[in-house]
Amino acid sequence: MDFATVRRHIEGVPYILPEMARDVYDFILRETPQNCLELGFAHGASSCYIAAALEETGAGRLTCVDLLPAREWQQPAIEELLARTGLGHLVQVEREATSYTWFLKKQIEAQTKNLHCEPLYDFCFIDGAKNWTIDSSAFFLVDKLLKPGGWIVFDDLQWTYASKVAKGKRKSDGIYLLDMGEDELNQPHIELIFQLLVMQHPEYSHFLVKDNWWAWARKVPGDKNVVFEMSAGYRQRLAAWEAEHQRRHRPPFAPFDD
């Protein structure tokens, strides 16, 4: 299914931004990953873009995982969007009681023979908890399941729990914010995972940070340079934010404010 058609089908459904959806869609056409995994699907908007690209390449499947309790607020549900787009045959939807890390445990078990876990996925999109404990574990678990040469991308690079507290929230995806220390609230957990775990992992390279928010890495040993790219739309939003707040936005990997 072409990009414009899938975009029309899911018009107005959160969360993925059209420019990010375009990047993922084009990535799939270019790299043709066969087995894709998405951790955190919400309403399934990003899942539909991935499935549309897989249909376009003529091969590949997506497995996507979210929380069972989240089904309550996920209206429209992913099943509805998949029915609307006719892409359901390419997507396996999984829901776990507490976390996708438990789904990953089951996958590792299923792929293990004689103490060896046979990798399964070519591409993994992590867009879920944004939490150090959960997503650091998810990274190492996904690593066991990701084929050499495979790709991983994290959404929400600079997201912080402080942004939820500022909106008066006490809980995010089942995690109590009031229990957190100041630094845990204020530091972006995904950025920490990317910098301290993914980039330091000897098997990963080809780091790309897009719009200060999406972080890509490839499972191949190599150069540890990071490429920073900004779309025209993001540059505009950034300039507007900086004008409104009268200060520069913190770039990725910069030291934290005191």
Ligand X SMILES: C[S@@+](CC[C@H](N)C(=O)[O-])C[C@H]1O[C@@H](n2cnc3c(N)ncnc32)[C@H](O)[C@@H]1O
Q: How far is the CB of 225 from ligand X (least distance, A)?
A: 27
Q: Rounded CA gap, 155 and 184, in Å? A: 18
Count of residues that bind ligand X according to CB under 6 A: 19
Question: Interface mask (CB under 6 A) for ligand X, residues 7-26, using x and -?
Answer: --------xx----------
Nearby residues of 111 by Cβ (< 8 Å), 6 or more positions away? 117, 118, 119, 120, 144, 145
Q: Does 134 bind ligand X (CB under 6 A)?
A: yes
- Shorter beta-carbon distance to ligand X: residue 192 or 220: 192
Residue 174 — left, alpha, or beta (φ > 0 → left; ψ -120 to 50 → alpha)?
Answer: left
- Shorter beta-carbon distance to ligand X: residue 197 or 220: 197
3-state secondary structure of 161: helix
Q: Does 107 bind ligand X (CB under 6 A)?
A: no
Give, as one character, the DSSP assignment of residue 196.
I
- Shorter beta-carbon distance to ligand X: residue 128 or 188: 128
3-state secondary structure of 159: coil
Q: Which of 24, 25, 33, 66 binds ligand X (CB under 6 A)?
A: 66
Which token pair is 112? Answer: 């293990």
Q: Which helix (H) or strand (E) holds 138?
A: helix 132-145
> How many other CB atoms sit within 10 Å of the CB of residue 157?
22
Which region among 94-102, 110-118, 205-213, 231-239 touches ligand X (by CB under 6 A)? Answer: 94-102
The label of the residue with tokens 């990003």 reads: 46
- Shorter beta-carbon distance to ligand X: residue 133 or 200: 133
Question: Interface mask (CB under 6 A) for ligand X, residues 25-64, using x and -?
Answer: ---------------xxx--xx------------------
Q: Which of 1, 37, 129, 226 binds ligand X (CB under 6 A)?
A: 129
Q: Does 128 bind ligand X (CB under 6 A)?
A: yes
Q: Which of 28, 37, 51, 67 binds ligand X (CB under 6 A)?
A: 67
The phi, psi pair for 93, rounded to 5°, reads -100, 130
Q: Rounded CA gap, 130 and 101, in Å? A: 13
Q: Which helix (H) or strand (E) holds 100?
A: helix 100-111
Q: Which of 18, 70, 77, 201 binds ligand X (CB under 6 A)?
A: 70
Question: Which amino acid makes up residue 220?
Answer: V
Question: Which amino acid makes up residue 205?
Answer: S
- Shorter beta-carbon distance to ligand X: residue 133 or 225: 133
Please state the separation of Cα 23 from the chain's center in Å: 13
- Shorter beta-carbon distance to ligand X: residue 40 or 150: 40
Do the Cβ atoms of 210 and 229 come closer than 8 Å? yes
Q: Does 211 bind ligand X (CB under 6 A)?
A: no
- Shorter beta-carbon distance to ligand X: residue 92 or 200: 92
User: Which parts of this chain interact with ligand X (CB under 6 A)?
Assistant: 15-16, 40-42, 45-46, 65-67, 70, 96, 99-100, 127-129, 134, 173
